[in-house]
């Protein structure tokens, strides 16, 4: 965050506003101590607020208003909380939108001299990766083709649930539901990326799935501990940092090996990979890796870096959203019953859901949206401003990193009626609960050219999964105390979500 005062980089319509705006230095925020800034607030009481930044920033929202700043050692933070400010930030994101660095990921890549992918890449490097992969991951026609594979993984998950229910003998409950759901998202995203099953649900899991899975979960867990702290690991190779790097090494090693196998398979099937695929080539029938390899625009290292990041971005985001959906359903039998009625009116005679049938299930989409609204796995996204702007009346100069607190907007009573209440019908167009609101008030996947590249995959895999689970089971939540949110890179339940699955027929 820099305190440049120049107004020359502003969008024309902002220039006038800037002249009347309050100066950047007047943006309110907590008291900062020399050198450490606000570090103590984060780490005191055994890191209470490091694990729950959403509570800290919610209290700052109440105390300081819609815009506030903070500083942790040398990390300067600026937070905005209104959809109007989000829109201004996105408008000023420039040609190469930049969220700012995810330091632990970047430091590992730079120390090991490995290519960056879409998640952490910048400028042309980022744009090139997105232009190759967007088509395959965001075009609905291409994504629809994955329904069959997604259903295969879900069938394995359901068998796993049934097997574990017998083993665990807890009256329908699973002793480690979160692990099962993580395996579902891991196996699904890998089956999309590598066009084959890795075997996370085999009994026992295949060694490669086991090693890959353990490494991705460990990387995500340790990143969660490192990301809110200044990057001391850049200079001190602690035991934790070395362990972290060794998990990344495993991901790159296995990811690279799977890509090589796919390349060899394609070559032995007679495909000429030196012939570049035209960007307008029909792609619906091609799998992800053959497509990316055939485009010939990314080097092997870039493909590996991208695939690892897609997996990193796709495992705990979808898994945690599903954990929250199960929690909502288990705690609200009326919502569950309505959902069951809708799903069973669309799916007849044991038919599996796909991208077309879920379009006829608006209530299902509403349930998932409510989970994303009240329990967004990413409580914020950020942009480094390419231009000067005015946010909530303050002049904010170009190059400032601004955090858009999606979590706070989504719980704002002035935007959502009965904001803390779960109302899937608020998302149904014809419903009386639907009201017109600023489109930036709900952006769980971000916005613009840098929005989540896995959005369509995530939506489809989650819709199909919930439709299948609700068709098969009654979902009963056994948590007695209300489940809160804790921060582990993504916002996760602060206690195990305890679900008993009761067979419907």
Contact between 27 and ligand HEM by CB under 6 A: the answer reads: no
To the question of whether residue 452 is assigned a binding role by annotation, the answer is yes
Contact between 119 and ligand HEM by CB under 6 A: the answer reads: yes
- Of 189 and 469, CB closest to ligand HEM: 189
Query: Is there a contact between 362 and 427 (Cβ–Cβ < 8 Å)?
Result: yes
d(CA 112, CA 78): 31
Residue 71: CB atoms within 10 A of its CB come to: 18
Cβ neighbours for 370, distance < 8 A, ≥ 6 positions apart = 328, 422, 423, 424, 426, 427
CA angle 361, 365, 369 (to 5 degrees): 165
- Of 165 and 306, CB closest to ligand HEM: 306
Cα-Cα-Cα-Cα dihedral sign, residues 389, 392, 394, 397: negative
The number of CA neighbours under 13 Å toward the Cβ of 17 is: 16
Binding string to ligand HEM for residues 248 to 287, with x set by CB under 6 A, is what? ----------------------------------------
Contact between 317 and ligand HEM by CB under 6 A: the answer reads: yes
d(CA 38, CA 21): 27
Q: Which of 195, 234, 451, 474 binds ligand HEM (CB under 6 A)?
A: 451
Contact between 227 and ligand HEM by CB under 6 A: the answer reads: no
Contact between 293 and ligand HEM by CB under 6 A: the answer reads: no
Contact between 89 and ligand HEM by CB under 6 A: the answer reads: no
Residue 96 CB, nearest approach to ligand HEM (Å): 10
Residue 381 CB, nearest approach to ligand HEM (Å): 4
From edge to edge, which strands make up the β-sheet containing 401-404? 67-72, 75-80, 401-404, 381-384
Contact between 469 and ligand HEM by CB under 6 A: the answer reads: no
Contact between 386 and ligand HEM by CB under 6 A: the answer reads: no
Interface region with ligand HEM, contact rule CB under 6 A, candidates 19-27, 215-223, 305-313, 390-398: 305-313
Residue 365 CB, nearest approach to ligand HEM (Å): 13
Contact between 189 and ligand HEM by CB under 6 A: the answer reads: yes
Q: Which of 66, 313, 330, 424 binds ligand HEM (CB under 6 A)?
A: 313
Contact between 99 and ligand HEM by CB under 6 A: the answer reads: yes
Q: Which two tokens stand for residue 64?
A: 């300081």
Q: Which two tokens stand for residue 144?
A: 């629809």
- Of 254 and 453, CB closest to ligand HEM: 453
- Of 177 and 216, CB closest to ligand HEM: 216
- Which residues, listed in sequence order, are joined to residue 156 by a DSSP beta bridge? none
The dihedral formed by the CA atoms of 306, 307, 308 and 312, expressed in degrees to the nearest 10:
100
- Of 328 and 458, CB closest to ligand HEM: 458
Contact between 452 and ligand HEM by CB under 6 A: the answer reads: yes
Query: Is there a contact between 346 and 480 (Cβ–Cβ < 8 Å)?
Result: no
Residue 459 CB, nearest approach to ligand HEM (Å): 8
d(CA 428, CA 329): 18
Contact between 64 and ligand HEM by CB under 6 A: the answer reads: no
Burial state string for 295-317 with b = 16 or more CB within 10 A and e = fewer than 16: beebeeebbbbbbbbbbbbbbbb
Binding string to ligand HEM for residues 144 to 183, with x set by CB under 6 A, is what? ----------------------------------------
Interface region with ligand HEM, contact rule CB under 6 A, candidates 377-385, 391-399, 418-426, 466-474: 377-385
Peptide bond into 476 cis (omega under 30): no
CA distances in angstroms from 392 to 5, 115, 282, listed in the order given: 17, 38, 46
Size of residue set near ligand HEM by CB under 6 A:
26
DSSP 433: T
- The SS3 call for residue 384 is strand
Interface residue list for ligand HEM (CB under 6 A):
99, 118-119, 130, 189, 309-310, 313-314, 317-318, 321, 377-378, 381, 444-447, 450-454, 457-458
- Residue stretches of the annotated binding site for heme: 452
């Amino acid at each position: 965050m820099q305190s440049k005062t120049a107004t020359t980089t502003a969008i024309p319509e902002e220039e006038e506003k800037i002249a009347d705006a309050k100066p950047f230095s007047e943006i309110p925020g907590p008291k900062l101590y020399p050198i450490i800034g606000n570090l103590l607030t984060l780490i005191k009481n055994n890191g209470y607020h490091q694990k729950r930044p959403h509570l800290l920033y919610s209290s700052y929202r109440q105390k300081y208003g819609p815009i506030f700043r903070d500083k942790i050692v040398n990390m300067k933070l600026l937070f905005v909380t209104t959809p109007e400010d989000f829109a201004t930030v996105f408008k000023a994101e420039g040609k190469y939108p930049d969220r700012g660095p995810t330091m632990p990921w970047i430091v590992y890549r730079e120390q090991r001299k490995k290519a960056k992918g879409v998640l952490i890449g910048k400028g042309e490097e980022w744009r090139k990766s997105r232009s190759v992969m967007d088509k395959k991951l965001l075009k609905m026609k291409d994504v629809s083709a994955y329904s069959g594979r997604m259903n295969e993984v879900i069938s394995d998950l359901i068998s796993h649930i049934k097997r574990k229910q017998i083993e665990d003998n807890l009256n329908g409950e699973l002793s480690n539901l979160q692990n099962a759901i993580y395996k579902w998202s891991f196996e699904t995203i890998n089956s999309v990326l590598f066009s084959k099953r890795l075997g996370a649900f085999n009994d026992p899991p295949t060694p490669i799935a086991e090693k890959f899975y353990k490494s991705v979960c460990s990387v995500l867990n340790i990143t969660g501990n490192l990301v809110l702290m200044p990057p001391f690991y850049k200079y001190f190779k602690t035991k934790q940092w070395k362990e972290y790097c060794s998990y990344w090494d495993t991901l790159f090693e296995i990811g690279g090996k799977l890509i090589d196998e796919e390349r060899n398979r394609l070559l032995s099937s007679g495909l000429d990979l030196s012939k570049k695929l035209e960007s307008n080539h029909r792609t619906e029938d091609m799998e992800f890796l053959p497509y990316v390899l055939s485009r010939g625009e990314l080097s092997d290292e870039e493909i590996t870096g991208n695939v690892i990041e897609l997996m990193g971005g796709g495992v705990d985001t979808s898994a945690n959203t599903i954990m929250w959906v199960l929690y909502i359903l288990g705690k609200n039998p009326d919502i569950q019953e309505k959902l069951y009625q809708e799903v069973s009116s669309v799916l007849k005679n044991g038919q599996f859901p796909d991208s077309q049938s879920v379009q006829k299930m608006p209530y299902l989409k509403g349930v998932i949206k409510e989970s994303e609204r009240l329990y967004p796995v990413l409580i914020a996204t950020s942009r480094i401003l390419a231009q000067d702007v005015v946010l909530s009346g303050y002049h904010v100069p170009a190059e400032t990193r601004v955090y858009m607190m999606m979590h706070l907007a989504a719980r704002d009573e002035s935007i959502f009626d009965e904001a803390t209440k779960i109302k899937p019908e608020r998302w149904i167009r014809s419903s009386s609960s639907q009201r017109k609101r600023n489109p930036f008030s709900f952006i769980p996947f971000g916005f613009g050219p840098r929005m989540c590249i896995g959005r369509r995959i995530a939506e489809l895999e989650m819709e199909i999964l919930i439709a299948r689970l609700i068709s098969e089971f009654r979902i009963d939540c056994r948590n007695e105390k209300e489940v809160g949110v804790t921060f582990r890179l993504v916002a996760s339940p602060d206690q195990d979500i305890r679900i008993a699955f009761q067979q419907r027929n």
